[in-house]
């Protein structure tokens, strides 16, 4: 494929920030786990903080990635059902609205549950690193808010569904 045929992927500043944050989380996790393994098996004693730090960073990395994947259309989709409506504009519009409303409802439920966990975690600290336990469910809350807002904007703007995943279906 020549350079002229290669699609250029334009990334927003928010996407680059999310990708850099995920890379930083992964890098710190890799160093912490590697150091812990070397200390544990090489010297018989590890770093207890390594496990807590890795768990916290993994949770943040996953939810940052989920929020960054939504506008790029990289979440799992079931295009086979909706693609059957492609030649029926009214049905496709109704399905698009229904899907966006379901995404918003899922975000509300995830956000509400995460908020309850954040409130519970405000009163306690982690065992080893002593960070507020509220930092563990916080990325789920932020992810739910981010995806919910993006879905509301798509609903208001009447953004059509991206059915470009059809080529990836098995």
> For 11-46, what is each residue's pLDDT tens digit?
688 889 999 999 999 999 999 999 999 999 999 888
Domain that holds residue 45: 13-168
Residues 46 and 39 sit within 8 Å (Cβ to Cβ):
yes
Within a domain: residue 18? yes
pTM for this prediction: 0.83
**How confident is the model at residue 13, as a pLDDT?**
87
Within a domain: residue 36? yes
Is the predicted pLDDT of residue 148 greater than 70, yes or no?
A: yes
Nearest CA to 138 out of 122, 156, 115, 155 is that of: 115
Residue 164 DSSP code: G
Within a domain: residue 2? no
pLDDT tier, 9 (very low <50, low <70, confident <90, very high otherwise): low
114 exposed, middle or buried (CB, 10 Å; 0-12, 13-18, 19+)? buried
Within a domain: residue 110? yes
Between the alpha carbon of residue 55 and those of residues 18, 104, 114, 119, the distances in Å are 18, 28, 17, 20
SS3 content of the chain, % helix, strand, coil (to 5): 70, 0, 25
Within a domain: residue 55? yes
Within a domain: residue 56? yes
Within a domain: residue 8? no
Within a domain: residue 129? yes
Number of compact structural domains in the chain: 1
């Amino acid at each position: 494929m020549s350079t002229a045929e290669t699609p250029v992927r334009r990334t927003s500043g928010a996407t680059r920030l999310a990708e850099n944050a995920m890379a930083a989380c992964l890098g710190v996790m890799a160093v912490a786990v590697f150091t812990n393994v070397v200390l544990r098996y090489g010297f018989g004693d590890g770093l207890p903080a390594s496990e807590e730090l890795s768990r916290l960073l993994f949770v943040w990395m996953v939810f940052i990635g989920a929020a960054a994947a939504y506008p790029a259309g990289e979440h799992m989709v079931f295009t086979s059902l909706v693609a059957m409506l492609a030649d029926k504009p009214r049905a496709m519009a109704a399905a698009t609205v229904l899907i966006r409303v379901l995404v918003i409802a899922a975000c509300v439920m995830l956000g509400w549950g995460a908020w309850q966990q954040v409130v519970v975690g405000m009163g306690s600290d982690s065992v080893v690193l002593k960070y507020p336990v509220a930092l563990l469910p916080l990325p789920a809350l932020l992810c739910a808010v981010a995806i919910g807002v993006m879905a509301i904007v798509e609903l208001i703007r009447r953004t059509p569904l991206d059915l470009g995943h059809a080529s990836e279906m098995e």
